[in-house]
Chains A and B, each alone.
Chain A
Amino acid sequence: GQQVMQIPQYQHVQEGEDFTTYCNSSTTLSNIQWYKQRPGGHPVFLIQLVKSGEVKKQKRLTFQFGEAKKNSSLHITATQTTDVGTYFCAGPGNAGNMLTFGGGTRLMVKP
């Protein structure tokens, strides 16, 4: 079945440093979604990418969808302590509106 992998699993950064998480799918995706889960919280939708090679920005966050629509990345510029959490990518699965989530990248920021 479809697999969505994320690397790295964990990342410690100093506040102000940049951070990137990478997402790879075993199959071509029609779209990819990104979610953020704060410690003790629930996943919160960040963005959806649909087009091949698409790049979207949200303030310090830059999201990219690969040309082959099998990979994606999230880059955070100048991390802040408020960026702490686990970032998940998710692609459509085989049934209905289900999403297959990656394992997530847990970001820890040292002030």
Chain B
Amino acid sequence: DAGVTQSPTHLIKTRGQHVTLRCSPISGHKSVSWYQQVLGQGPQFIFQYYEKEERGRGNFPDRFSARQFPNYSSELNVNALLLGDSALYLCASSLRGPLYNSPLHFGNGTRLTVT
């Protein structure tokens, strides 16, 4: 079975632009979460989606938005990019819903560089 797949793997954008990152969860997983990992730090929670509904949101500005599609894939959108948005963006899927602390299966991430 394929793991969590993310695209693109790398992206370079300039300040003020917007970006869309994509994620396909493991087959059968209905929960998708997004994390931001700045170099040298632990992943920080951005969003969780389950059954196409937002089930959790971290402490990120409204420039960050996401959605989940009927096939459970997901997109993370970031508008008006800032230099500080440069990071590794990780998507994770899990088998069970928000009421369970299921282990997360991470994708390889999208490395975003904002210049």
A-side interface residues toward B, CB under 8 Å? 1, 4, 30-31, 33, 35, 41-45, 48, 88, 90, 92-93, 95-104
Interface size on B, residues (CB 8 A): 30
* Pairs A-B, 8 closest by C-beta atoms: A95-B56, A96-B56, A101-B42, A96-B98, A96-B55, A45-B103, A98-B45, A42-B106
Give 10 A-B pairs besides A93-B45, A97-B56, A99-B104 with Cβ atoms closer than 8 angstroms: A43-B90, A44-B106, A95-B58, A96-B50, A97-B48, A97-B94, A97-B100, A99-B43, A103-B41, A103-B42
Chain B's nearest CB lies how many Å from the CB of A105? 10
CA of A95 to CA of B35 in the docked complex: distance in angstroms?
A: 14
Chain A's nearest CB lies how many Å from the CB of B72? 14
The interface residues of chain A lying within 8 Å CB-to-CB of B109 are 42
CA of A71 to CA of B59 in the docked complex: distance in angstroms?
A: 24
Q: Mark B82-115, 1 if CB is under 8 A from A, else 0.
A: 0000000010001011101111111111000000
- Choose among B31, B59, B108 the residue that contacts A97 (Cβ–Cβ < 8 A): B31
- Choose among A30, A41, A45 the residue that contacts B108 (Cβ–Cβ < 8 A): A41
